[in-house]
């Protein structure tokens, strides 16, 4: 074997507030690491959000220099980039350094410019690519990579998408941590979290969305794993709460029902969260089964209360359909979160702020309101470029002469303040605990026991003049 010890690194750390809530594992990185089994004698996954032994950068780099002979780094998010580049530049010079992930695919040239240590960037899905790298395949013969060749950067052809049924599920035995609910470094109760990916891609064509496109503009057609393999994976999980990370679990109602039937048949005692469209409300019999199978929360892409914006985004439904759907969903013990976009092309301030009122009217429990972004291959890019007074930054942020970044930020805060009243927090807490029952009685009691420890930790942390809390209090 060419390599003896491969490290797969999630370089993101906790936010500066030291607040980490409901952290799920880095599923994409775990898929790639699991694909390396049998090709390298030792595989290590390090997640700096949870790492304690190697949390210090010096200790991490010393470990890499002593133990590891190839490093794969996952860059899936457009944040903490400067810190990540600094870490990459300190990596031992004699060890191949490979970077992949969604953001890496977006920022190939930037990564090579920011870090002279990076040897190769994996573009798009990385399982097969990582296998060929570990097998010692020459860089020029590996599809889907950009690599350093002397003072030049070479870009190979894109790699075709793989058959999802040929990809093994992540091997959880490779983990160094249990993923749970953390606050200020203290675990809340004994609740474990995990994710399951049952499909890749999406058959819908919402114009704002590029989730089914990789940053190369390749569309990932909707493909499904077998129902049996999905339920078998779930049955083997330690986690209490499982997120279905599919773009939409309910694309095929018959398949969703089959998953529920098997979960019920095998008496799988877990709580599930899932992303769905409002179409799910057309199938009350399946909703009954989803509740029985343990589904506790739906994340629903609503996007806008305005028909003309929904049409612009090509959502495939209108405001009346949204209202009809939530009239059904409100009857079920399921916590609903509605995703909304504001700052759409041509949207006025009053139309944006109506989001909070509309969300209350339809009875959605929580909302996530985000500014519209225009990614590189978004179908909305051409429309935005032609719209008078609109501009797109290099990062894909959309703003206009009438609504600057600062103004849009204020509008976003106004939407959230209007929706999240004290009564809303009370309602959500009551529904979570007594209607949906996301937490068990034992977990609630453990949370009560843990609360004084968390408060003491926050007070101790805030007592020093250089503490994070005291800095936040400074004018």
Cβ(122)–Cβ(144) below 8 Å = yes
- What is residue 219's predicted lDDT score, i.e. its pLDDT? 52
Residue 139, number of CB atoms within 10 A of its CB:
16
Residue 269 vs residues 249, 264, 292, 374, 440: alpha-carbon distances, Å = 19, 9, 10, 40, 12
Q: Inform me whether the pLDDT recorded for 273 exceeds 90.
A: yes
192 in a domain, yes or no?
A: no
Number of domain units in the chain: 3
**Mean pLDDT estimate for the chain:** 85
429 in a domain, yes or no?
A: yes
17 in a domain, yes or no?
A: yes
* Residue 456 structure tokens: 């003491």
* Residue 119 structure tokens: 């040897």
Cβ(121)–Cβ(104) below 8 Å = yes
Same domain for 383 and 462, yes or no, is no
* pLDDT mean over 118-138: 93
pLDDT per residue over 164-205, tens digit each?
A: 777 778 899 999 988 887 665 566 667 889 999 888 666 555
Rounded to whole angstroms, how far apart are CA atoms 171 and 468? 36
128 in a domain, yes or no?
A: yes
69 in a domain, yes or no?
A: yes
| CATH code for the domain of 37 | 3.40.50.280
Rounded to whole angstroms, how far apart are CA atoms 161 and 163? 7
Same domain for 255 and 390, yes or no, is yes
| CATH code for the domain of 415 | 3.80.30.20
Three-state SS string across 142-168, please? CCCEEEEECCEEEECCCCCCCCHHHCC
- What is residue 468's predicted lDDT score, i.e. its pLDDT? 30
Residue with structure tokens 């501009």? Answer: 391
Same domain for 328 and 211, yes or no, is yes
* Residue 395 structure tokens: 């990062």
pLDDT per residue over 92-108, tens digit each?
A: 989 999 999 888 888 88
Rounded to whole angstroms, how far apart are CA atoms 281 and 274? 14
Same domain for 414 and 468, yes or no, is no
**Predicted confidence band at 459 (pLDDT cuts at 50, 70, 90)?**
very low
Same domain for 275 and 406, yes or no, is yes
Same domain for 390 and 450, yes or no, is no
pLDDT per residue over 21-51, tens digit each?
A: 446 888 889 999 999 999 999 999 999 988 8
Give the range of the structural domain holding residue 271, as residue numbers without chain letter: 197-435
Q: Inform me whether the pLDDT recorded for 234 exceeds 70.
A: yes
Q: Whole-structure pTM over 0.85, yes or no?
A: no
- What is residue 460's predicted lDDT score, i.e. its pLDDT? 46
* pLDDT mean over 251-272: 94
Same domain for 461 and 405, yes or no, is no
Cβ(189)–Cβ(196) below 8 Å = no
* pLDDT mean over 375-384: 78
Same domain for 120 and 208, yes or no, is no
Q: Inform me whether the pLDDT recorded for 443 exceeds 60.
A: yes
76 in a domain, yes or no?
A: yes
Same domain for 462 and 391, yes or no, is no
Indicate the helix (H) or strand (E) that contains 42. strand 42-47
Q: Inform me whether the pLDDT recorded for 469 exceeds 70.
A: no
Same domain for 73 and 203, yes or no, is no
Same domain for 347 and 206, yes or no, is yes
38 in a domain, yes or no?
A: yes
Residue 468, number of CB atoms within 10 A of its CB:
16
Return the higher-pLDDT residue of 16 and 123: 123
What are residue 290's phi and psi, to 5 degrees? Answer: -65, -40
Q: Inform me whether the pLDDT recorded for 475 exceeds 60.
A: no
Rounded to whole angstroms, how far apart are CA atoms 266 and 344? 45
Least confident of 187-201, 257-271, 342-356: 187-201
- What is residue 458's predicted lDDT score, i.e. its pLDDT? 41
Phi/psi class of residue 388: alpha, beta or left (left: φ > 0; alpha: ψ in -120 to 50)?
beta
Same domain for 207 and 343, yes or no, is yes
Q: Inform me whether the pLDDT recorded for 341 exceeds 90.
A: yes
């Amino acid at each position: 074997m060419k390599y003896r010890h491969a490290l797969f690194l999630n370089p993101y750390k906790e936010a500066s507030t030291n607040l980490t809530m409901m952290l799920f594992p880095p599923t994409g990185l775990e898929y790639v690491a699991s694909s390396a089994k049998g090709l390298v004698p030792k595989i290590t996954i390090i997640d700096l959000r949870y790492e304690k032994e190697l949390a210090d950068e010096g200790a991490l780099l010393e470990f890499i220099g002593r133990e590891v002979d190839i490093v794969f780094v996952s860059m899936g998010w457009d944040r903490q980039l400067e810190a990540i580049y600094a870490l990459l530049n300190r990596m031992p010079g004699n060890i191949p350094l490979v970077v992949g992930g969604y953001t890496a695919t977006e920022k190939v040239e930037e990564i090579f410019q920011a870090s002279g240590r990076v040897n190769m960037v994996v573009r798009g899905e990385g399982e097969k690519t990582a296998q060929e790298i570990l097998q010692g395949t020459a860089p020029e013969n590996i599809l889907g990579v950009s690599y350093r060749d002397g003072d030049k950067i070479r870009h190979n052809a894109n790699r075709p998408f793989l058959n999802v049924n040929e990809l093994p599920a992540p091997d959880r035995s490779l983990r160094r941590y249990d993923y749970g609910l953390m606050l200020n470094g203290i675990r809340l109760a004994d609740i474990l979290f995990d994710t399951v990916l049952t499909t890749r891609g999406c058959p819908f064509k919402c114009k704002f969305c590029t989730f089914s496109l990789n940053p190369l503009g390749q569309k990932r057609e909707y493909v499904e794993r077998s129902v049996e393999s999905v339920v078998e994976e779930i049955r083997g999980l330690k986690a209490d709460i499982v997120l279905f990370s599919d773009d939409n679990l309910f694309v095929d109602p018959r398949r969703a029902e089959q998953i529920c039937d098997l979960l019920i048949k095998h008496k799988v005692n877990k709580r599930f969260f899932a992303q769905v469209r409002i179409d799910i409300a057309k199938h009350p019999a399946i909703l009954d089964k989803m509740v029985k199978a343990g589904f506790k929360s739906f994340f629903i892409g609503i996007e806008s209360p305005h028909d003309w914006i929904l049409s612009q985004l090509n959502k495939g439904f209108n405001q009346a359909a949204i209202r009809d759907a939530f009239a059904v969903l409100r009857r079920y013990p399921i916590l609903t979160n509605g995703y909304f976009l504001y700052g759409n092309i041509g949207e006025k301030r009053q139309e944006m702020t109506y989001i909070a009122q509309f969300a209350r009217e339809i009875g959605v429990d929580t909302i996530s309101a985000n500014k519209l972004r225009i990614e590189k291959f978004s179908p909305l890019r051409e429309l935005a470029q032609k719209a008078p007074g609109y501009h797109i930054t290099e990062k894909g942020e959309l703003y206009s002469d009438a609504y600057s970044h600062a103004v849009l930020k204020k509008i976003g805060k106004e939407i959230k303040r209007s929706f999240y009243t004290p009564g809303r927090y009370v309602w959500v807490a009551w529904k979570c605990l007594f209607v949906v029952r996301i937490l068990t009685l034992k977990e609630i009691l453990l949370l009560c026991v843990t609360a004084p420890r968390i408060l003491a930790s926050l007070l101790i942390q805030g007592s020093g003049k250089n503490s994070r809390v005291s800095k936040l209090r400074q004018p």
